[in-house]
Structure 1
């Protein structure tokens, strides 16, 4: 009897296992049938949104001019985003949740940058109204000789950026002061901004404190200092050529007369309480940077310190800003709103006008819209389709580097964000470089040469928008004079063509 019972239980167990397996296999098959193989748009189809965006931005800028950032460019980006999503959902069956997730991830990735941007807006206003920037301008005009102003500007910004690891911080602080000095000496704002950005992005590119430097090395699995040393091969010659150009320009440019400079400094001292004590703010900021305090904390403390100095040294200006004899309102307005102080010098009146946090809102709006566009291009497979096109041309070392440069530049144009572009470029080519026997540091260097330095040259890129907003100089105005940024990608290709210090494993 026991044998019959055991046999019956065995039959029941076997039946359950058998039919359970059949059921699971049926469910798996059903799920597989419900998920059709994802199609990837062709490079031609993937280029359509890019061409549409370029056309939209051209029409917007032509129509609105300098007011394009007030809404026209943002609408152009959102309209192009909707085109990407329509193509993907209608013709390639890409679900909406994929787009939503990609856009959300993109926006989350720039959250820190948006906070930094807001603080920089407050810092710019506080440094100006407290008298920090006017003091730097006042003494800088008298120290920096006009013939070597552009060269000095580039070198100063390079040194500060190396120490800070941030082009944004450099441009928002010492860059604004140098812009004022240059204008007082009679230089065109395009040349001044070009020298500032060239120096700032040299430091941003090679500083071990720079987030882009760390990101490029980590994405390509390259040791940080190995990455930095290898970048020197292309970065130092690019900077030297840039300095030669600025030196020649400085020696040949007709600058303002001594009388004009004296008039400018007199107007400065008449409006602001100029004192060396105000230099304690940039000194304290430098100490925080040297101690590697996080950028957000450094900028925030620098803003608060400048606010305290404004209360101590410029109370009359705060009362003038408030318009109601309320000093608290004046200092708060300095942090978040526009200020327009009147002087006897028109150029000075324009220079000391500030925008605070409010002045950054259009830029933040544009960044958010750009992240929507980049997310839609990524989720729809359009970025992958276009960038895979560059891989076909990788025949020699020079062509491989040129393809990487072209891909990085394209991603900067398409995603409107240098961080996304660095990640995508590094990930996309890492296996190809490894398969062909190239060192990872070649990829990390080329990525920075292609992406980091070209980001401020693109009007709708986060860096291009930010620098144009901070300096008050349109991207297309300073672009021709950012020689370091223009030369670096070409230098990367040239060094690859001659094969200098490029090791290939056989």
Structure 2
């Protein structure tokens, strides 16, 4: 039975966005409302509603909620989130993050401090799959570079945030990348190919701009600490395994195994402590995993109530082409990211709608996954009330708003994303072993 279009079917997500926004204005901090609490309140709203001209029992609504929460895509995403958390914890415990930072610093020429900082942040965020981890690790170094070289702290930290968002957008183990590919049922490496070609010009332009802006100041030599190349092995293993097309769960398991083996061999932890670290890392991702399940249930109820159908028809009525559908997807995920300050949640929420639009307008799902991630990451790098900005601004004792004008990379990937839509690049043919309809219906 086709669901009747109903604007009020979107009430759960509207209530969620209102809660986030109102609490942000009242408290002055848009992260004051816990996301899990906001989504639980939205769930209560969803369970209290009914489809247009129809009444469902609470048991029927709970069945829909649980069935959609237990969708194979959502459950697999949860497993991947937990494994990613375990990987973060293990590599942090063996000193791999510090060693990677110091290794990168050892390669920097004093003439290219800021561009070196940007590229190191790109490498680390791509390796560990988290912008926050990268930004927090490098923020003290960025501040030191600014103070010793004479560039402003705002420029140094804006450059750092851009490098951190590079990994959020492209890393094989980033939760945003995982969410994008899983919601569209595409291969990680296929999304990577689309994504890289779109953002590569933004990387190059950022390097040029940052270099030009720092040319007129005195350069200082910033030396990193000691590093052990062996500790880079877990990251390199993850990158190589993913590039070879190995399943993301297997990739993470291999990375965890290598990290655990190194930690045991260099006495970073005992066997029992290793298990504790694994549990700790998975604990870091539990909220995100639960939110992913809840979002799946809420979207399922909104679909049953006709809200998704109303949204699709409203967007579709204004869309006359594939290009228009892509602009609509970009607008949707961008709006959700600005409202939630969480690019992963924005992608998880927008993903099912984007997939329906993709099926309707015959879009390549690999391209949809790329656009979802690009626009979510771009706006995440420009909202001054986001976690990335709040973390570095606190360390540097400056206003987060003052950093935004120097976040060149997030601005540029949004520009490149719009240009990509306008000119329809890049385009990759469907593999000969796959029919077009098969990949579009995944």
TM-score band by shorter chain is 0.5 to 0.7
Q: Residues 415-454 of structure 1: matches in 2 within 5 Å?
A: 416=345, 418=347, 421-428=350-357, 430-431=359-360, 433=361, 440-441=363-364, 445=367, 447-448=368-369, 450-454=371-375
DSSP-derived class of the 2:254 partner: helix
Indicate if the aligned counterparts of 2:85 and 2:284 stay in contact, CA closer than 8 A. Answer: yes
Partner Cα distance (1:133, 1:448) in 2? 28
- For 1:370 and 1:183, how far apart are their aligned partners in 2? 36
The CA distance in 2 between the partners of 1:229 and 1:292, in whole Å, is 12
Q: For 1:44-91, what per-residue CA distance to the aligned partner results, in whole angstroms no more than 9, with x for missing partners?
A: x3454443212212355565969857xx32121111122233232586
3-state secondary structure, aligned to 1:88:
coil
In structure 2, the residue matched to 1:87 is 49
* 1:102–1:375 Cα contact (<8 Å) kept: yes
Match of 1:346 in 2: none
TM alignment of 1:351-362, pairs within 5 A: 356-362=281-287
Cα displacement string for residues 197-244 of structure 1 (whole angstroms, at most 9, x for unaligned residues): 23552566xxxx98846975969xxxx97x988877754444444444
Taking the aligned partners of 2:196 and 2:263, their CA distance within structure 1 comes to 41
Q: Which residue does the alignment assign to 1:18? A: none
Greater RCO, 1 or 2 (C-alpha within 8 Å, sep 6+): 2
Match of 2:80 in 1: 116
- What does residue 323 of structure 1 align with? none
CA distance 1:154–1:123, change in 2 (3 Å): closer
Higher Cα Rg, which structure:
1
Q: Aligned-pair distance for 1:150?
A: 4.2
Match of 2:262 in 1: 309
Alignment correspondent of 2:37 = 75
Distance in 2 (CA, whole Å) between partners of 1:252 and 1:375 is 56
CA distance in 2, matches of 1:66, 1:230: 32
1:295-325 residue CA offsets vs partner (Å, 9 max, x unmatched): 222322322332232233245xx4xxxxxxx
- Going from structure 1 to structure 2, the CA distance change for 1:457 and 1:358 (only over 3 Å counts) comes to farther
Evaluate the alpha carbon distance shift between residue 199 and residue 331 of structure 1 in structure 2; reply closer, same or farther with a 3 A threshold: closer
| Aligned residue among 93, 99, 105 for 1:141 | 105
User: Following the alignment from structure 1 to structure 2, what is the Cα–Cα distance between the partners of residues 100 and 458?
Assistant: 35
CA distance in 1, matches of 2:425, 2:377: 28
Cα 1:200/1:155, change in 2 over 3 Å: same
- Secondary structure in 2 matching 1:40: coil
2:273 to 330, 335, 350: 330
Please list every run of 5 or more consecutive structure 1 residues that lacks an aligned counterpart in the other structure: 1-34, 162-168, 319-326, 338-355, 435-439
**Among 209, 232, 255, the residue aligned to 1:279:** 232
* CA shift in 2, pair 1:455/1:100, >3 Å: farther
**Residues 237, 216 of structure 1: alpha-carbon distance in 2 compared, 3 angstrom cutoff:** farther
Structure 1 residues 233 and 305: alpha-carbon distance in aligned structure 2, compared to 1, 3 A threshold: closer
Q: Residues 395 and 77 (structure 1 numbering): CA distance in 2 closer, same or farther, change over 3 Å?
A: same
Residue pair 2:88, 2:128 contacting (<8 A) in 1 also: no
Change (3 A) 1:296 1:369: same
Which deviates more from structure 2 when the two are superposed, residues 291-300 or residues 123-132?
291-300
How far apart are 1:396 and its partner, in Å?
7.1
Aligned to 1:197: 165
8 Å CA contact retained: 2:77, 2:179:
no
Residue in structure 1 matching 2:95, options 131, 149, 157: 131
Task: Count how many residue pairs are aligned between Structure 1 and Structure 2.
Answer: 390
In the alignment, which of 89, 101, 107 is matched to residue 64 of structure 2? 101
Q: 1:458 to 1:332 in 2, by over 3 A?
A: farther
Report the CA distance shift for 1:295/1:421 in structure 2 as closer, same or farther (over 3 A): same
- Post-superposition offset of 1:385: 0.6
- Higher mean alpha-carbon deviation, 142-151 vs 405-414, is at 405-414
Change (3 A) 1:183 1:214: same
What secondary structure, in the 3-state scheme, does the structure 2 residue paired with 1:136 have? helix
Question: Aligned pair in 2 of structure 1 residues 94, 454: CA closer, same or farther (>3 Å)?
Answer: farther
Contact 1:408/1:451, CA 8 A, preserved across alignment: yes
Separation (CA, whole Å) in 1 of partners of 2:323 and 2:5: 29
The question of 1:371 aligning with 2:371 is answered: no
Structure 1 distance, partners of 2:171, 2:419, is 22
TM-score (ref. length: structure 1) = 0.60
Give 3-state SS (helix, strand or coil) of 1:362's partner.
helix
Q: Distance in 2 between matches of 1:364 and 1:228?
A: 23
